[in-house]
Amino acid sequence: MKLQRQLFTEIAIRNRVAELARCLSSEYTKTGVTEVVALVVLKGAFVFAADLIRQMFVSVRVEFVQVRSYEDATSPQHAPSVQYLFNSSIFSGKHLLIIEDIVDSGNTLVALLDSLPIEPPFFPLSLKVCALLEKEVFREGILDGFHWLMENHYHVGFRIPNEFVVGYGLDHAGLYRDLADIRVLEGEENAS
């Protein structure tokens, strides 16, 4: 596996993240929302989330969830496992913003949405998803059970080709999260 071409520069990422923060914040303020709970999907989304929330102009509480399926490979090794790192009833009566690094097949997002404690009495007042990247292979059909989410509540920074990417929080086997830009990783093992 080796690093290949750069897909997004640090500046391009910064500009797009600023746009997303403006867009989300104005959607919230237009509907009178002044405080949200960001649910950051670990580990990949921690860099994006840190930049995004600092540019939002509503108050943001931060919670974390870990969803695993890739382990150290470039394609899923098992069904996504979801682990909340807090008492999930905290969404009750809150505006929930899920912050994800990348949506590939969509399985991780669906597992996460399915796991949300959104049955009464634990339900959020609203739900949005903001993913930095979305692969072209992603088909919205997988979110069929979540149609309400697709209408103005699902935001994506960049759509990318079906390649394995690293940097800006995204890893391969734990490496490259610290890169400031986003690059394509290529090699024999790349199955996705």
Active site amino acids: 104
Residue 44 as a binder of Mg ion (CB under 5 A): the answer is: yes
Does the footprint of ligand IMP cover residue 105 (CB under 6 A)?
A: yes
Nearer to Mg ion, 24 or 98 (CB): 98
Nearer to ligand IMP among residue 30 and residue 78 (C-beta): 78
Label residues 122-158 b or e (16+ Cβ within 10 Å = b): ebbeebbbbbbbbbeebeeeebeebeebeeebbbbbb
When binding is defined by CB under 6 A, the residue of 6, 107, 126, 190 that contacts ligand IMP is 107
Contact region for ligand IMP (CB under 6 A) — 29-37, 101-109, 119-127, 151-159? 101-109
DSSP string over 108-154: HHHHHHHHS--STTS--SEEEEEEEEEETT--GGGGGGGHHHHTT-E
Nearest residue (CB) to ligand IMP, 18 versus 173: 173
As beta bridge partners, residue 61 has: 37
| Gap between the Cα atoms of 118 and 96, Å rounded | 11
Q: By C-alpha distance, which of 29, 134, 38 is closest to 86?
A: 38
Is the CB of residue 140 less than 8 Å from the CB of residue 131?
no
Task: Note whether 116 binds ligand IMP by CB under 6 A.
Answer: no
Q: How far is the CB of 94 from ligand IMP (least distance, A)?
A: 23
Binding flag, residue 4, ligand IMP (CB under 6 A): no
Q: Which residues bind ligand IMP (CB under 6 A)?
A: 44, 69-70, 76, 80, 100-108, 164-166, 170
Question: Could you list the residues that contact Mg ion (CB under 5 A)?
Answer: 44
